[in-house]
């Protein structure tokens, strides 16, 4: 199977979130499984700043879009035995920020990712025709439309099938109707059954409507996006494609997230030897200026500070959380409102709670290793990765029963000793506190807690496992 994965971001070259991790790990895992896979992304200023210098494959590839003659260079870098291709057009991508700056989105994002979509197609003669063109999120949503309408007679593309992956339906790539001609989108596509969305162009809707198949990053989220509550206005069009909609849970990169080899934590540990985890807890508490108390469970969060993540629920319940006898730490940055709120909470509850309002990768590893419990009260969560990392570190997840959290966390039963975490149904303080109370009660019974930790350690969310599911889906699409 020959797969070309297209994404607006790929770690470690350029990344803002989980999409970048997926776009790195999946092609590598596919190659390790004996298939041929590569990835393609824009050559951002950030790629160069990170010290990467991909080599030219083809310079000066011409492209006409919206009546304008443009050119781009195709570059390539081999990383972890996988080819990563880059679309280089400095007028569009050699600037600060992948999608924008703190002042707002780049005003020409329609053209930037319209060109990226066209350039992906124009690169195929130099890369080789894939069996599957695996597209990700709104930034690549125009590719299947272009293939069906603008390049339907191109012999280089005959037989190539498209899979469109939705990582977060809330980000849709909406632009004014007046830009149709600039993007070479046929007028006939601007309909309710096409890419029109409340009189705007919707890049993500284009991906949903025109791709051969669609998937989300968990089975739970695939079911949720069909409902009005989670569908972000696209539930109706998704229901028309329900037979082509699949859910595959993202994998966890155990080469990076593994307490047996992690260089960021105080002491390494693993199955059969969890005692050093206590040293990691001491180290983490010291980092936040919280006195060590072996009897007090330590609850942690690593998150984007945003409404979606249920941060208001946590902030409003902080008194009740700490009254359970736990300590609390959080790492993340995001909306200014929550940045300030958690800084203030850390000051108010000094010695019991700590907040690092920043992005700090080594500290993220310390939190996974040093905490007893990991809290994820998300209003919605397409997949989520930290619950998987937590289990690898024998840190018990306490999560809302939604999306990928629903798929990966099974509620623990103290009598049967089955399950790998604690779940709660509603996005409310009462529901969240109920799950935390059950977790704290279990923590006090050390034998039962050890059984729960062993259950966590027995889970396999590796990319090897996830890649097998994608290979099955690719074969199904190819045979259509």
Q: Is the pLDDT of residue 197 over 80?
A: yes
Q: Per-residue pLDDT averaged across 445-466, rounded? A: 96
Q: In angstroms, what CA-CA distances link 124 with 130, 312, 429? A: 8, 46, 51
Q: Where are the domains of the chain?
A: 2-251+464-478, 277-460
**331-350 tens-digit pLDDT:** 998 888 999 999 999 999 99
- Cross-strand pairs, 215: 165, 246
Annotate 263-329 with DSSP letters as a single string: TTSSS--BTTB-TTHHHHHHHHHHHHT----TTS-EEEEE--BSGGGTHHHHHHTHHHHHHTT-EEE
Same fold, 2-251+464-478 and 277-460: yes
Is residue 289 within 8 A of residue 373, CB to CB? The reply is no
**235-267 tens-digit pLDDT:** 999 999 999 999 999 999 898 899 999 999 999
Banded pLDDT at 473 (limits 50, 70, 90)? very high
Q: Is the pLDDT of residue 1 over 90?
A: yes
Burial class from Cβ neighbours inside 10 Å (0-12, 13-18, 19+) for residue 260 reads exposed
Residues comprising the chain, all counted: 480
> What does the block give as tokens for 135?
């597209």
**79-132 tens-digit pLDDT:** 999 999 999 999 999 999 999 987 889 999 999 999 999 999 999 999 999 999
- Please give the Cα distance from 268 to 259 (Å, whole number): 5
List, in sequence order, every beta strand (DSSP E) within 1-144: 2-6, 36-42, 55-65, 68-79, 82-88, 100-101, 104-105, 132-136
* Mean pLDDT, rounded, of the chain: 96
Residue 147's contacts (CB-CB under 8 Å, 6 or more residues apart) are 121, 133, 157, 160, 162, 210
What burial letters (b/e) apply to 299-337, b meaning 16+ CB within 10 Å?
Answer: bbbbbbbbeebbbbbbbebbeebbebebbbbbbbbbeee
**What was the pLDDT predicted at 83?**
99
Q: Is the pLDDT of residue 18 over 90?
A: no
3-state secondary structure at position 89: coil
3-state secondary structure at position 343: helix
Is residue 369 within 8 A of residue 284, CB to CB? The reply is yes
3-state secondary structure at position 117: helix
| Pairing assessment for the beta strands 373-376 and 422-424 based on DSSP bridges | unpaired
Among 3.40.50.2000, 3.40.50.1010, 1.10.3720.10, 3.40.190.10, what is the CATH number of 277-460?
Answer: 3.40.50.2000
| CATH, domain range 2-251+464-478 | 3.40.50.2000
- Please give the Cα distance from 12 to 310 (Å, whole number): 28
- Please give the Cα distance from 365 to 280 (Å, whole number): 10
**What was the pLDDT predicted at 128?**
94
């Amino acid at each position: 199977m020959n797969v070309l994965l297209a994404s607006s971001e790929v770690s470690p070259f350029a990344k803002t979130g989980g999409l970048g991790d997926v776009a790195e790990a999946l092609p590598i895992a596919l190659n390790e499984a004996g298939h041929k896979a590569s990835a393609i992304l824009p050559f951002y200023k950030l790629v160069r700043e990170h010290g990467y210098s991909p080599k030219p494959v083809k310079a000066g590839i011409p492209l006409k879009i919206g009546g304008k003659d443009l050119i781009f260079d195709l570059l390539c870098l081999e990383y972890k035995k996988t080819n990563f291709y880059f679309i280089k057009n400095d007028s569009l991508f050699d600037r600060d920020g992948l999608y924008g700056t703190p002042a707002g989105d780049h005003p020409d994002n329609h053209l930037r990712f319209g060109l990226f979509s066209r350039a992906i197609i124009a690169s195929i003669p130099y890369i080789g025709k894939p069996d599957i063109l695996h597209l990700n999120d709104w930034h690549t949503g125009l590719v299947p439309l272009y293939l069906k309408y603008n390049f339907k007679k191109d012999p280089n593309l005959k037989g190539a099938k498209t899979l469109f992956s939705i990582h977060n339906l809330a980000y849709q790539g909406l632009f004014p109707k007046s830009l149709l001609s600039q993007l070479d989108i046929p007028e006939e596509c601007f309909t309710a059954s096409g890419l029109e969305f409340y009189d705007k162009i919707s890049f993500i809707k284009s991906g949903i409507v025109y791709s051969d198949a669609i998937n989300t990053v968990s089975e739970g989220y695939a079911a949720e996006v069909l409902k009005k509550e989670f569908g972000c206005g696209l539930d109706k069009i998704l229901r028309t494609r329900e037979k082509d909609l699949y859910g595959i849970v993202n994998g966890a990169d155990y080469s990076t997230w593994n307490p047996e080899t992690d260089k960021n934590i105080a002491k390494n540990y693993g199955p059969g030897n969890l005692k050093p985890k206590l040293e990691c807890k001491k180290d983490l508490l010291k980092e936040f200026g919280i006195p060590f108390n072996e009897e007090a469970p330590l609850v942690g969060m690593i998150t984007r500070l945003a409404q979606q993540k249920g941060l208001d629920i946590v902030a409003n319940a902080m008194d009740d959380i700490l009254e359970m006898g736990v300590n609390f730490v959080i790492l993340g940055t995001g909306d200014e409102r929550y940045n300030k709120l958690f800084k203030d909470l850390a000051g108010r509850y000094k010695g019991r709670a700590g907040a690092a309002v920043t992005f700090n990768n080594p500290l993220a590893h310390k939190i996974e290793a040093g905490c007893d419990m990991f809290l994820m009260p998300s209003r919605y969560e397409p997949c989520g990765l930290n619950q998987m990392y937590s289990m690898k570190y024998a840190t018990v997840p306490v999560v809302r029963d939604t999306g990928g959290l629903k798929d990966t966390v099974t509620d623990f039963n103290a009598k049967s000793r089955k399950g790998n975490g604690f779940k709660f149904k509603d996005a409310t303080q009462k529901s969240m506190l109920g799950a935390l109370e059950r977790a704290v009660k279990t923590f006090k019974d050390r034998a039962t807690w050890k059984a729960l930790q062993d259950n966590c350690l027995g889970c396999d969310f590796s990319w090897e496992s996830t890649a097998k599911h994608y290979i099955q889906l690719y074969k199904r699409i190819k045979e259509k």
